[in-house]
Amino acid sequence: MKLFVGLGNPGAKYAQNRHNIGFMALDQIASDHGFGPWRAKFQGQVSEGKIGSERVILLKPQTFMNLSGQSVGEAMRFHKLTPADVVVFHDELDLAPGKCRLKTGGGHAGHNGLRSIHQHIGPDYDRVRLGIGHPGHKDRVAGYVLSDFAKADQDWLDDLLRGIGDGAPALAAGDGPKFLNAVALRVAPPRSSGGERVRAEGKPDPLKAKPPAPEPATKEDTRSPLQRLADKFR
């Protein structure tokens, strides 16, 4: 059994915040893999299902970010899981927007949700680090993460979340490289041998459109002016 944890803050006010990308990732997985309805449990929202042969519990703590560990610890104890069974999806300031990385163990880098989880279960769990970029100065971080994604972010955000849904079976099976590859195929589609990006969903490539047929060549008129005038009255 795996426990997938998405980090965020509860309530409509925060739903589209950059800080809530962990919640968004779990919503995508639940939708793509036919999970059951969300219900209140473990101080959070829980949905259960199977991905491949693995039973997976999705958990969105409703304690607010800085107390996330309370919810995660309670779910772990109830299901008799270890930190190795836990995968946490969270926003990452130190990665460019749309980037996705996997990490096991290590510090919390000042992330309040991870800090709380460290306090309750220790550091030895897996993290899916979802890049949101950095506002440029530490004094702007709080306002940045608690602001909604911009309209310009929607394309890469949609690709990233779809990639997470695609790669969830590999992640549940413990195959990190295959998971990251599935995300990369959405976020940065492969290029053909000629260097062009392979277009998704069978859409035609305008660069390969058939060129228009050339205009037929006009035959040169070799008649003298007098002949042309005479031909007009024939």
Catalytic machinery residues: 19
Residue 127: CB partners within 8 Å, gap ≥ 6? 87, 88, 89, 90, 102, 103, 104, 114
Instruction: Tell me the Ramachandran region of residue 92: left when phi exceeds 0, alpha when psi lies from -120 to 50, beta otherwise.
Output: beta
CA distance 59 to 208: 46
In angstroms, the first-to-last Cα distance of the chain is: 95
Q: Using an 8 Å Cβ cutoff, are 164 and 128 in contact? A: yes
